[in-house]
Amino acid sequence: MSEDKNRISSTENGETRDKKSLITEKITGRKLTLSRAGKYTAVAAMCGVAFGLAAALTFCGVNMLSNMSYDAGDKTSKADEQLHMTDMEGNDVMPPVGTDPESMDETGVSTDPEGSGQAADGALDAQGQPVGDMSAGNADVNGNTETHENPGSPANDGLTGQTAGNGSGGEVYGTGTGAGELNRGEADENAAEISFSEMRASAIENSQKYFVTVSATSTGTTWFDNEESNTETFSGVITTVGRNEILILTTSGAAQSESVRVKFHNGVSVDAFVKQFSNEDGLCVLAVSTESGLDEHMLDELEGIEFAARETIENGEAVIACGSPLGVSGSYSFGDIGYINDSEAGYDVSQRVAYTDALSDAGRGTFFIDYEGRLIGIAGTGAGSLGVDDGLSRIVTCYSLNDTVNALKAGEKIAYTGVMGADVTFDMKYSGIPEGCYVTGVDQDSPAYTAGIMRGDIISSVNGDEIGGMGDYQRAIRRLDPGASVEIILKRPAAGEYRDMTFTVTAGER
């Protein structure tokens, strides 16, 4: 019996334990042990601490916002009270613009010992007038309003225009500090324009000593056989000042006269004579003797103008037309180089020619200088490669005229045949045209025209010298004297091929 009781008790106890385990596993999914109970307790404690911190921070933030709102309202009330002050007669007064309300007494007078303040954008003075954007101002010692009209304008180079003057009371005025800073870009632009204008004026002033007025007088007879003199005026430029003579370059129109006088920039007028001229180039060189009445001081001051180097002449270069660009001696015109043709064909020459929008009068004499006073070139006659009209001027550069001018200065005549040519390009060679100087035109009644040279001929030899292009032909002709006979060998197309032909040309005078 006792064994059965023990078994029953054991069984009952086992059933009890099995039931407790079953309940625990259904609720937690796992058996509840002492270790797991400790972990659950720790997690619950951490969640409680986090919740407490969040609640504390929320309370502090709400309290802080409440205090800030109260302080702002309190300050606004104080400011309103101070701004709506009254004078001794009971009238409302406004504090001076830029004055701290706390630094004012009950009558509206500033107690700031410096008497200064900063005015905000669009601020008004005591009379309700705008003070000026971003302006800093000081009250004068007498309490009077001072007005400065746009002191920060470009004319003042954007300076601040600050005024010294301290004192109590008064109304703050704008100095234009901010305006000067805002207009600084405009001031810099105006300064650049002034600098450019001054540079141009300086170039004109410094170059006046090089230019002269040429008076050419001719005598003729009228319909009634009466003698009558006619004087034309041209412009010239001094190229050389030597020991014995002063050489002046002018237009070839001055060469067709019986007497010539030259007036220098200082008003001194003396006689001159024609050294040499070229009708084809439209140029003439005059000579003035140093013993023609010029004093030593004047001779020491005179000098020849500098010729600009080839590489200094570029597109966009600003130029000044001097001499007679407006048809009157002593006039000026201004412009920029817009196009340069490095090999523009002329009769017996290939020249470097520039085009500009400055005005010119080639017949009266127009000379182009740069802003450093160097001679760039001379106004040329003819339409050129661009077909010059009244709105453009054609400048034959000094680089191209150097040999011609030197020959005229030496009193030499220049040979002339009247051939206009061009180099044979790669494309032309590819199409079967032989190498040489391709004749693009022949001046009517010229020596070449008279000899029988035609457009389309290819000149290959001049007096035995091989010709590879227009440059070679120009140099070959320049070695000749007017009146000399020259043998020219060329190739002329006929029946689909080129045949050699020989012509003898008597050189004329350029």
| 233-280 pLDDT per residue, tens | 999 999 999 999 999 999 999 998 889 999 999 999 999 999 999 999
How many angstroms separate the CA atoms of 431 and 331, rounded? Answer: 51
Phi, psi of 305 (to 5 degrees): -70, 145
Give the pLDDT confidence score for residue 61 in this predicted structure.
Answer: 59
Q: Are 207 and 373 in contact (CB under 8 A)?
A: yes
Give the pLDDT confidence score for residue 9 in this predicted structure.
Answer: 43
Give the pLDDT confidence score for residue 229 in this predicted structure.
Answer: 84
Using 50, 70 and 90 to split pLDDT, how confident is the model at 34?
low
Residue 353 has pLDDT above 80, yes or no: yes
Domains defined along the chain, listed by start: 14-79 (no CATH), 208-221+228-409 (2.40.10.120), 415-509 (2.30.42.10)
Using 50, 70 and 90 to split pLDDT, how confident is the model at 198?
confident
Q: What share of the chain is helix, strand, coil (3-state, %, to 5)?
A: 30, 30, 40
Q: Are 66 and 74 in contact (CB under 8 A)?
A: no
pTM of the model: 0.62
Written as six digits, the tokens of 129 are: 């007038």
Residue 140 has pLDDT above 90, yes or no: no
Q: Are 117 and 137 in contact (CB under 8 A)?
A: yes
The DSSP call for residue 151 is T
Residue 119 has pLDDT above 50, yes or no: no
Which of the listed ranges 129-138, 205-214, 421-430 does the model predict with the highest average pLDDT? Answer: 205-214
Which of the pair, 68 or 180, is modelled with greater confidence?
68
